[in-house]
Amino acid sequence: MNKQSIPTIGQIVKILRGKDAGQLAVVLTQADNKFVYIADGDKRKFDQAKKKNLLHLETQSYISSEVVNSLMENGRVTNGKLRHAVMMSRQSTESHAQEKGD
């Protein structure tokens, strides 16, 4: 869960800066070594993916195989799959917190 690591396609990231700070989103593509395009399927749709600086993101351990497969097959992903990936990430984070007794 390092801020500096370059996230992979389909990985969940937590937004640290900007008006969406604190929100989770899915990495869609890598623009270059400093930027990626992200979307959450809700406020930020696939067609209006946001270009974000990697320094403003914190990678999460969850990677959505559904999003990865969809992007590989047809270069697109539905907003529903993005929302589902974010929801699944939230649930896995909450279950880890409960296991640790936080």
Which of these, 6, 43, 37, 8, lies nearest to 23 by C-alpha position?
A: 43
For the chain, what is the radius of gyration of the CA atoms? 13
Q: 86 near 65, Cβ under 8 Å?
A: no
Domains, the chain? 11-100 (2.30.30.30)
Taking the C-alpha atoms of residue 93 and residue 37, their distance in angstroms, rounded to an integer, is: 23
- pTM of the entire structure? 0.90
Q: For each of the chain's 102 residues, which pLDDT tens digit applies? A: 445 578 999 999 999 999 999 999 999 999 999 999 999 999 999 999 999 999 999 999 999 999 999 999 999 999 999 999 999 999 987 877 777 665
Taking the C-alpha atoms of residue 34 and residue 15, their distance in angstroms, rounded to an integer, is: 15
Backbone angles phi, psi at 4, to 5 degrees: -80, -20
The pLDDT of residue 1 is: 47
